[in-house]
């Protein structure tokens, strides 16, 4: 009820400020593209960013935000150390990604990583995306998650975990940085601790997090993204897990496939939200693999062309970073470690310098 009242109040503010009311016997029509955010109390900059994103698919060019995930991590799995993707890519091309993402599950020291993301936004104009960071309070993948909801046996632990994530996000709000926030990503994958077949409880948990961060913690710099895993086929992620239009601003999918097929695209379009490839990566190959698409020579211009010709409602992607595994060696998924030469000047692709809101 509170959200509905706030949305009505905000709509009236916009109508008054833009002249979209009856004045001096003249009725001005409310613009068709006036789309409220899930949080009706977004700060002005975040609201402007959301409207910029909402309008991208209507632009004749520079309408695909090229994004790149980059983690500063010292974990053995990644061995990236300091940034080896974002700044080197900019030095090689003269362009910063329009979106820079970070998975806070994979960050050893977010206190060092957060200023890195803030500086990319402030100094270079990159939009910042964050996923992960919600620690498991003690449930098992496949449970119904009811223990985390109000009255549940793990409620206190879950509130503590939400508080911890809120503190990390509050750093960005204090520094006037808007965040594309992607909680519970790949919720339809059994590898996630929050995976469940009790879809109602998942939807309730999403709404609980949204209301806690929005109404209790007053984080008004978050644009909320819902993004299942694309490779889990036939699970009805967009009908079963989807928490509802009032809790989501952007919809998407994590796609790791050389054919770049979005399995649920026809369903996603019906939600009338901006669509993103919230993670993209080529297949699990390594240098020396006989398939050139898997060994660090993937042509990222192909992704831009696939979107232009097949998925024109997609407004951006976020390439995954590279990592090292003992089984496969180095896996190259970033734009920087693949072929980006034809991508740089693609008429549909927007970089940080093209972000204007």
**pLDDT tens for each residue of 101-111:** 998 887 666 77
Three-state helix/strand/coil letters over the chain: CHHHHHHHHHHHHHHHHHCCCCECCECCCCCCCCCCCCCCCCCHHHHHHHHHHHCHHHCCCCCEEEEEECCCECCCCCCCECCCCHHHHHHHHCCCECEEEEEHHHCCCHHHHHHHHHHHHHHHCCEEEEECCCCCCCCCCCCCCHHHCCCCCCHHHHHHHHHHHHHHHHHHHHCCCCEEEECCCCCCCCCCCCCCCCHHHHHHHHHHHHHHHHHHCCCCCEEEEECCECCCCCCCHHHHCCCCHHHCCEEEEEEECCCCCCCCHHHHHCCCCCEEEEEEECCCCCCCCCCHHHCCCCECHHHHHHHHHHCCCEEEEEECCCEEECCCEEECCCCCCCECCCCCCCCCEEEHHHCCC
| Distance (Å, whole) CA 263 – CA 172 | 34
Taking 50 as the threshold, does the pLDDT of residue 220 lie above it? yes
Question: What is the per-residue pLDDT for 120?
Answer: 96
State if pTM tops 0.85: yes
135 vs 295, which has greater pLDDT?
135
Q: How confident is the model at residue 333 (pLDDT cuts 50, 70, 90)?
A: confident
pLDDT over 80 (residue 32): no
Q: What is the pLDDT of residues 290-305, one digit of tens each?
A: 565 566 788 999 999 9
**What pLDDT is stored for residue 108 in this prediction?**
61
Residue 16, pLDDT above cutoff 80: no
The pLDDT assigned to 309 comes to 97
Give me the pLDDT at residue 284, please.
58
Over 80: is that where the pLDDT of 15 sits? no
Rounded CA-CA distance 67/316 in Å is 7
Mean pLDDT, the chain, rounded, equals: 85
């Amino acid at each position: 009820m509170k959200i509905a009242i706030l949305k009505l109040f905000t709509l009236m503010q916009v109508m008054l400020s833009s002249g979209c009311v009856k004045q001096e016997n003249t009725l001005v029509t409310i613009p068709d593209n006036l789309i409220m955010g899930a949080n009706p109390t977004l700060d002005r900059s975040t609201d402007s960013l959301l409207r910029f994103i909402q309008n991208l698919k209507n632009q004749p060019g520079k309408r695909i935000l090229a994004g790149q995930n980059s983690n500063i991590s010292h974990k053995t799995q990644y061995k990236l150390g300091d940034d080896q993707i974002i700044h080197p890519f900019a030095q090689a091309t003269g362009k910063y990604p329009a979106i820079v993402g970070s998975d806070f599950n994979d960050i050893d020291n977010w206190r060092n990583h957060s200023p890195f993301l803030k500086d990319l936004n402030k100094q270079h104009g990159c939009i910042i995306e964050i996923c992960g960071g919600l620690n498991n309070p003690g449930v098992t993948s496949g449970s119904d998650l009811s223990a985390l909801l109000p009255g549940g046996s793990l409620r206190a632990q879950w509130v503590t975990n939400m508080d911890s994530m809120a503190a990390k996000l509050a750093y960005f709000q204090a520094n006037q940085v808007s965040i594309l926030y992607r909680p519970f990503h790949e919720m339809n994958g059994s590898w996630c601790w929050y995976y469940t077949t009790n879809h109602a409880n998942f939807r309730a948990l999403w709404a609980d997090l949204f209301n806690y961060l929005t109404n209790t913690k007053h984080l008004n710099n978050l644009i909320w993204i819902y993004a299942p895993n694309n490779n889990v086929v036939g699970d009805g992620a967009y009908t079963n897990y989807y928490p509802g239009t009032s809790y989501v601003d952007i919809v998407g999918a994590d796609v790791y496939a050389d054919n770049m097929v979005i399995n649920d695209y026809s369903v996603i379009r019906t939600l009338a939200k901006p669509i993103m490839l919230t993670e993209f990566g080529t297949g699990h190959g390594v240098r020396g693999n006989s398939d050139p698409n898997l060994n660090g020579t993937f042509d990222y211009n192909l992704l831009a062309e696939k979107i232009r010709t097949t998925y024109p409602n997609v407004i951006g992607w976020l390439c995954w970073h590279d990592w090292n595994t003992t089984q496969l060696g180095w896996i190259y998924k970033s734009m920087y470690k693949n072929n980006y030469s034809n991508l740089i000047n693609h008429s549909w692709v927007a970089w940080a310098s093209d972000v204007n809101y």
